[in-house]
Chains A and B, each alone.
Chain A
């Protein structure tokens, strides 16, 4: 079977997903087009070699609608022969785009594909695309839908994580992210976003709060106590988890992923592409898969999909040097670490979405790039990237560095 390699990756900085956020004035098409352009320009890529552009996007309506991948490729000035498709696997969309691009290459059906994602959460808010899952009464009643945060609080309740436990995790995420920026560990991947006149709009992640402490986090109110207790979602969750006496609401804006704007792009191709382009592969995409998990708690997919993937790849958890587990909520990563008995110094070593933000459609591609850079910096070989996914899913990818 042909192999799929990562040749390069770029991302925008992550702007606060609010009207005063650094990227709010930039359209999602521009965010996507600028990362596509940067990837091309810094690699001297002949875009005629690219078969497809796959971009994850979770709210593909309004200005993110109508196949933003194809449109962004055209806007970026890619050859018109480059096709484009928008992909939605909720929070893992960016990683799913990478996996789908790799699949095209590994099956010999594409020479090269660019994969990534985009989400301007400040411009197209979460849920803007509606959705039968939670809003069609017959569907949400049957599926016992609860908001993700209730699922995260349920994990904390079942696993016995206290408010202080999850806050401590968040403080560490902030500390690591600040240290990573301080040491320039994101320098290679982050490309500045520019305005119409070429001026830099944003060149640094702006969601971080490096001064975060346990005391400052303790001030925040639980975000999901209201919906859980007043609207009835706690009871809905208990119908699935009747062994729970009461759900402890421990997640806040401070220990959950940040709402941000951003985009990312990853250049993927096979040996034929390496020869044609003269580019050196940096890592091999060794294996990937997705899984469905119990949809009400929703966020337990990472451990399940990791077990499935390791088994398929004939690997053990000890074969992985570094992990990126998307910090949708602190409890998600804590459960993952507990499940595999992992020390925290191998997981999200440069912080995660709690500190840096989670631009839904892009995140999977972002953290894949982050961990590849870190493997190279540390001289390590193998990493696993995984995300929990809406409606109870998990997606994971294993990469390993190659000597060009």
Chain B
């Protein structure tokens, strides 16, 4: 018999064969072509033995199988010539599963735990499913999150099993369900304690069930139907498409493909339906969005979370005490994040009242989490107890790490830096959470600039996943390593950038806001500007975001920059708009109740009608595509300049920073991957044209011109 590496096959004396997934060195049993080949071989052996009455498929591990090996899939996606090529390459698991359910032997899945994607699809192709009654044993089809669809029968078997109405939301949201819900939905037949799973599966097989799936029985109908002559089905599908369009703005093809695959396949016998599903899968997998999502949000994020930029050879040093300077929104958020990660935190502010805001903040967040069942009362108490407000710098003593989050004012920052350094150990790291001021400048206030680093967190700290770590000119490797270690401990994804005004994230993001204002000043319809931002995939339009940030703040940043730079200063392109709104109109944003938008006491905000007088609408309006292009290109250009100037050392950092930091649309794979998505040659060509029309800010940097000329990509194929 064949020797298996990723599965185990045993024949029991009771005539039951057991296949257990056991992929070496991989607790989640990732599926791959090699595993499918082994499963195929094992099934051959099972089918060949007449004395085998049934087959159990299970896992030798606490997890059942968490889906396909995405790294392997990325290789296939990148090397495939086109959708047809990919279609020809990837029938493996789908074909095996169809064979499994029609091979003539009844099969039962004993689902030991987590069963996601291909893992759940494997279980769905068994005739019976018993799932471990354990909260960690969640099941689901999360493929949509990486821009794909369940390509091994998920879109066909799940709706045939539980009906279209229940199956669609699970696939569209990629939501996993716990065992009780899986049972109630009808995804599994039975729950059992993990120890009893095999026995239950055996018992079901022992009764000699017919090895036939419901959908292979004569006269099978999809539960709840799937015909367009049923008005309920019409309403369901029509509404689902609208919901998908609203959620994706047409940028993410996977949800629509899931709907189409399910609907079209359900009109057909399952074999033909499976072929439809594979076609839609190949279409998605050969397109740019899935590759972008997998590469950035899975592979590169995984690398960043494993601290890919950490200098080698520096021993970790545990932070047993964290100091936080300033108990405002950011400081309080940082204190909470540290305490939640198990670190005692001293939070310093100028008065006891101000310092105590950190406790209020932590209390509020913990209260919310407790209400939502994310934390127990006892644990919440422990977290709260770790937050210690103070007004005395001496209380920072013993902190291995201090993060400064005081006002964006050089003098104040210099003062607290000196006072903190006076009490902390000589090898403690001092991080500034500035979002705008260059780190090397701030480090001048430090007696130990090697220990001085920038850590730019985002607000609200507990929810925003990114931290932008900024190396100053003198920052030592050890400080960088420690900052990365702390980021990991706080559960944040770190990117590492070199010093620059606005670093990477604030600098690039500002171009989005500025371009929105330039468009406005050109007489482009404000609604078109805002919709173009959102429809391109940005979380909010550029004018709305400016109102949120506050025009006044942006105005002050410009003034500060002017003071800092002197002769080399240049006003941002949107300065006339910013100046007009702040100085003349006194419409400074949401806080002031008036900005680009009006904020009525009741009802929704709406664009200030006075915009039409300030910026008379141009007779000819640009197309939606033109405005979207400007709003995305301007950001990609600035990111490319960051790469050229060495602010960014790796495109992946730019991609992650853009998606996780300011919500740059993930369908692009990130602000630099976007250039690859467009294609460097076309991108450069478009930029030259945009520069001719709209100004030199669109002139592409040399790094992109070279790339285009060489026909290369920023992200080399994996």
> A136 — which chain B residues lie within 8 A by C-beta?
228, 237, 260, 263-264
Chain A 241-278 interface 0/1 with B at a Cβ cutoff of 8 Å (1 = within): 01111100000000000000000000000000000000
Which B-chain residue is minimally distant from A144 (CB atoms)?
B245
* A126-134, A335-343, A359-367, A380-388 - the one binding chain B: A126-134
Q: Which of A41-49, A180-188, A232-240 contacts B (4 or more CB under 8 A)?
A: A232-240
Bound-complex Cα distance A137 to B253 (A): 12
Neighbouring A residues of B263 by C-beta, 8 Å: 136-138
Q: Are B531 and A238 interface neighbours, CB within 8 A?
A: yes
Name the residue on A nearest B624 (C-beta): A242
Residues 133-157 of chain A, each 1 if its beta carbon lies under 8 Å from chain B, else 0? 0111110110011100000000000
Q: Which of B596-622 contact A (CB under 8 A)?
A: 604, 606-607, 621
Alpha-carbon distance between A61 and B229 when the two chains are bound, in angstroms? 9
| Known contacts A134-B234, A137-B260, A239-B249: A245-B241 contact under CB 8 Å | no
Partner of B237, one of A61, A135, A235, A245: A135
- Bound form: Cα–Cα A99–B411 in Å: 83
Whether a CB of chain B sits under 8 angstroms from the CB of A292 is: no
On chain A, the residues within 8 Å of B627 by CB distance are 242
Given contacts A138-B264, A245-B606, whether A231 and B243 have CB atoms under 8 Å apart is: yes
B250 interfacial contact with A, CB 8 Å: yes
How far does the Cβ of A367 sit from chain B's closest Cβ, in whole Å?
28
The 0/1 profile, CB within 8 Å of B marked 1, for residues 51-87 of chain A is 0000000000100000000000000000000000000
Task: State whether the Cβ of A125 lies closer than 8 Å to any Cβ in chain B.
Answer: yes
* B524-573 at interface with A (beta carbon < 8 Å): 525-528, 530-532, 535
Is there contact, CB below 8 Å, between A242 and B535?
yes
- In whole angstroms, how far apart are the Cα atoms of A127 and B227 in the complex? 13
Q: In the complex, are the beta carbons of A130 and B240 less than 8 A apart?
A: no
- Cα A129 to Cα B242 in complex, Å, equals 20
Given A232-B246, A243-B621, A244-B527, also A141-B259 (CB < 8 A): yes
Contact A243–B525 (Cβ < 8 Å): yes
Least CB distance from A239 to B in Å reads: 6
CB of B237 within 8 A of CB of A137, answer yes
Question: Is the pair A236, B606 in contact by a Cβ cutoff of 8 Å?
Answer: no
- Residue B256, interface by CB 8 Å: yes
Indicate which residue in A129, A140, A238 contacts B238 across the interface (CB closer than 8 Å): A140
Inter-subunit contact A135/B228 (CB<8 Å): yes
Q: Of residues 196 to 222 in A, which have CB atoms within 8 Å of B's CB atoms?
A: none
Q: Among A130, A134, A138, A243, which residue has its beta carbon within 8 angstroms of that of B528?
A: A243
Contact with B along A341-365 (1 / 0, CB 8 A): 0000000000000000000000000
Check if B229 sits within 8 Å of A233, measured CB to CB: no
Bound CA span A140–B236, Å: 13
Q: Which of B245, B525, B526, B528 has the most CB of A within 10 A?
A: B245
| The residue from A129, A239, A243, A245 contacting B245, defined by CB atoms under 8 A apart | A239
Residue of A nearest to B527 (CB): A245
A127 to B624, CA, bound (A): 32
Q: Which residues of chain B have C-beta atoms less than 8 A from A145's C-beta?
A: 238, 241-242
**Proximity string of chain B (26-67) to chain A, C-beta cutoff 8 Å, 1 when within and 0 when not:** 000000000000000000000000000000000000000000
Q: How far is the CA of A232 from the CA of B525 in the complex (A)?
A: 23
Contact A231 B531 (CB under 8 A): no
Q: Would B259 and A137 count as touching, CB distance under 8 A?
A: yes
Q: Give the nearest-CB partner of B238 in chain A.
A: A134
Give the complex CA separation of A233 and B260 in angstroms.
Answer: 18
On whether the beta carbons of B228 and A146 are closer than 8 Å, the reply is no
Instruction: Find chain A residues with CB under 8 A from B341 CB.
Output: none
Contact of A239 with B606 in the complex, beta carbons under 8 Å:
no
What is the distance, in angstroms, from B302's C-beta to the closest C-beta of chain A?
A: 32
Whether B245 contacts A141 by the Cβ 8 Å rule is yes
The residue on B at minimum CB distance from A131 is B228
B234 touches A127 (CB 8 A): yes
Whether B316 is near chain A, meaning CB under 8 Å from some CB there, is no
Do A135 and B234 touch (CB < 8 A)? yes
Contacts A/B (CB < 8 Å), 27 sampled? A128-B231, A130-B234, A135-B228, A135-B237, A135-B238, A136-B263, A137-B241, A137-B259, A138-B260, A138-B263, A141-B245, A145-B238, A227-B239, A232-B247, A235-B246, A236-B242, A239-B249, A239-B250, A239-B535, A239-B624, A242-B527, A242-B627, A243-B525, A243-B527, A243-B621, A245-B606, A246-B604
Q: Which 8 A-B pairs have the closest CB atoms?
A: A232-B246, A130-B228, A137-B259, A245-B527, A138-B260, A235-B246, A242-B531, A232-B242
| Known A236-B245, A236-B246, A238-B535; further 12 A-B contacts with Cβ < 8 A | A135-B228, A135-B234, A135-B238, A137-B259, A137-B263, A138-B256, A239-B250, A242-B535, A243-B528, A243-B621, A245-B530, A246-B606
